[in-house]
Structure 1
């Protein structure tokens, strides 16, 4: 049973990536269209729907992988103490924003 579920989560990750690529293609077509004098009807709607879909598909995949929706490329290389201090500062900043 978990194997099927794992496949759904992986498919969700691929779907999120596809939606992000779709946004890129639609935006590029809009740019090229404006240069050559034509418009793409409903391009904003398609981009908006693809953004919502990529968000929710990405959330499912990230939750399954045990990740957090943030950029970890920098802090994953830091030592444990530096990462703790950085995360503490970010949490205090978030707490300050939420309290105001």
Structure 2
């Protein structure tokens, strides 16, 4: 039951990340279509409509950062993060598992620091009503809160993987990596 709940949490992060990327695409499409419509209106001698999204690059940046942070956990479990595997592939399975455990513990420490720091920053933005610098004033705690959410999910995934190693199981990212290698070896 907990495994299913955790897998759904990681999948939800992926879905939210995908929605953020879709939102970026829609915003850019609206901006481009607005320019096309304005040029067409000018070409036929009419006044341009003036469809423009104020601070598009800023909103796009916030959405992109949200997508990156929300996808961290699912990407970890799918072995999508860049890792140097030359060492781990050249050692016996027991040592490979120990190295994975050590790296996961170190990642948990770094993830804890990142989560704490980002959480403090989001809290400060909320407390002091900090807004973005662009033309459209946007509360900074919102994108920072999404970063915190992504880091919470990522931290849970790191803990999940570390506990799997401690229980003597193969972590999901190593299983996914082995599956990928099996598929590429067969081609």
Report the TM-score when normalising by structure 2.
0.36
Distance (Å, rounded) in 2 between the aligned partners of 1:55 and 1:15: 10
> 1:6: how far off?
1.7
Q: CA RMSD in A?
A: 2.5
Q: Deviation per CA, 1:44-70, whole angstroms, max 9, x where unpaired?
A: 1211111101111111211133x2247
The structure richer in helix per residue is: 1
Q: 1:11 to 1:34 in 2, by over 3 A?
A: same
- Residues 1-100 of structure 1: pairs in structure 2 closer than 5 A: 1-37=2-38, 38=50, 39-65=52-78, 67-69=79-81, 78-79=184-185
Any unmatched runs of 5+ in structure 2?
Answer: 39-49, 83-179
Distance (Å, rounded) in 1 between the aligned partners of 2:184 and 2:73: 27
Aligned length: 76
Q: Which has the higher contact order (CA 8 A, sep 6+)?
A: 1
Whether the 8 Å CA contact 1:33–1:40 is kept in 2: the answer is: no
Q: Which protein has the larger Cα radius of gyration, Structure 1 or Structure 2? A: 2
